[in-house]
Structure 1
């Protein structure tokens, strides 16, 4: 939409680069072109604005297939006005000189024309096509049919309209029909899923069997190695026992030799000790005999008084020990009497 500014009874119009402006004054073109800006008087001006940019038109319509099934068609048409002068002469693109808004609705007219024309070509094709074929290859076929039909439509060329592209985004049947059509495919997919599940389970069983066989082989190999280990340990123990027996025999022999040598040494030492003791005792006996002989010889030469003295000494040596002597007057009187008597006799 063009921008219009008011100034003292005049109007200033400024259009976008994608809009074709045609200004007629007195039935003759005063300004014409894209992206114009000019002053004009509203009472003498007739201005139309034709868009030059690419526009998208979305459409949704229903069609009936050859087997009488309802089919919803969703498409989009891209178009452009190539000849704005022709379009301005065939459709009302006039704008209000005060607001710049279209007085009519030319784009809706173009949309209705394009939708009905596209729908006509699509209905002709879908009416001769079964539902299954339309769902399989219908999108491409319907798009090609609509594009060819709009490209050859004389009415569109007469108003300067060019169709750039056609896109069909969906061909959708009714919900119940769609569910019914999905059932075989869903069952097939389910069967494929079940088959894949069974294959996966079979593969898992095969892998488990291989793992079990591998474990069994490992256990057999481990048992064989354990048997070899036990045999080797037995041989080592037997060899160790033999070595220990040999060592014990060597130690016993060494101990026997040591004990024999020790007994021989002890016997020799005892023999030497016994000989020494015998010699010492013989020497001691000889010394005692010599002593006794000298003692007897000395007694034979001594007088009776010496012998009595010696006898008294020996007697005194064999008397018991006397710690104290109690002398009573009777004993002392008798002793003194004896001593006096003996003294006299001695004197006599």
Structure 2
């Protein structure tokens, strides 16, 4: 808004670079333009102030599609007043010299006009579209129709308003309908997620199976090697046992041979010793042949005495000695016969 300073009976207005100001006095324009500055009398001056900068006008309205579904349209229209003199003649932009504000709400009037016009074109467009088409292609179609409709609208041109741009943010159905429409997509996404999960699990199971098969193959290979090792060890043990048995047989045969030789030698020795003893006994007997029996008795007694234990003292009575000599004599006589 322009800056108005008070003075006695006078006012001074200093405009802004984005504001068009027109000063009428007696129905004639005294001052007009953008960024003007002048003095005026408040009692005789009519001041109009028109903004010429770009303005954003947000819109939110409801529409119905061809299949009788309610949708909400959220859009923004950017406009500016390209001909402020024309706009000042069609809309009340009068300024109160004392309060420096508009006497009415001209921008609200402009906004209502643009909103109703844009809503009319959007409703017409959406009424020819089904719900799914409106959600998918509605924003672009509504934006094109609203921009063309506002640009070609006679009232907009006659008011000096230029449309800078139109943006349609969203065309959305009711919450329940939107959830119902989202359900198939969500189910599809969930199915894709489940499929990915199943594939990941299947891949994990396949990898675990491959690992288990690999471990089993390793165990089989180890068992085969262990079996071969056991067989080789058994064969080696058998060979060692056979070699030990052969060696023992050879040792036993050698020992038997040695024993036979030793036995034969011992037998020969004993035969020779027996023969020698026999010859010695025969020689001894031959030596005593013809010897007096009394002498033989004495020799026998001496031989017996040699094999008896030591006797410290022996007492022989005459009777015992007589009996012994008599038996000895009887035995000798028998031997002679």
Change (3 A) 1:43 1:206: same
Give the whole-Å Cα distance in 2 for the aligned partners of 1:69 and 1:176: 11
Q: CA RMSD in A?
A: 2.3
Give the whole-Å Cα distance in 2 for the aligned partners of 1:106 and 1:222: 96
Q: Which residue of 1 aligns with 2:271?
A: none
Give the whole-Å Cα distance in 2 for the aligned partners of 1:31 and 1:216: 102
Give the whole-Å Cα distance in 2 for the aligned partners of 1:225 and 1:100: 106
Give the whole-Å Cα distance in 1 for the aligned partners of 2:191 and 2:30: 75
Give the whole-Å Cα distance in 2 for the aligned partners of 1:215 and 1:36: 94
Change (3 A) 1:224 1:58: same
Give the whole-Å Cα distance in 1 for the aligned partners of 2:33 and 2:126: 43
Q: Which residue of 2 aligns with 1:113?
A: 113
Give the whole-Å Cα distance in 1 for the aligned partners of 2:52 and 2:200: 61
- 1:211 positional shift: 3.4
Q: Which residue of 2 aligns with 1:80?
A: 80
The residue correspondences of 1:27-46 to structure 2 (distance < 5 A) are 27-46=27-46
Residue 190, structure 1, aligned to residue 190, structure 2: yes
CA deviations 1:287-318 (Å, max 9, x no partner) are: xxxxxxxxxxxxxxxxxxxxxxxxxxxxxxxx
Give the whole-Å Cα distance in 1 for the aligned partners of 2:225 and 2:15: 98
Residue 92, structure 1, aligned to residue 83, structure 2: no
Change (3 A) 1:77 1:225: farther
Total equivalences in the alignment = 232
SS at match of 2:6: strand
In structure 2, list runs of 5 or more residues that go unmatched.
237-337
Q: Which residue of 1 aligns with 2:329?
A: none
The residue correspondences of 1:140-289 to structure 2 (distance < 5 A) are 140-216=140-216
Q: Which residue of 2 aligns with 1:312?
A: none
In structure 1, list runs of 5 or more residues that go unmatched.
239-348
Give the structure-2-normalised TM-score.
0.64
SS at match of 1:180: helix
Q: Which residue of 1 aligns with 2:282?
A: none
Give the whole-Å Cα distance in 2 for the aligned partners of 1:219 and 1:16: 93
CA deviations 1:8-34 (Å, max 9, x no partner) are: 221111121110111112222221111
Give the whole-Å Cα distance in 1 for the aligned partners of 2:171 and 2:163: 21
Give the whole-Å Cα distance in 2 for the aligned partners of 1:225 and 1:98: 112
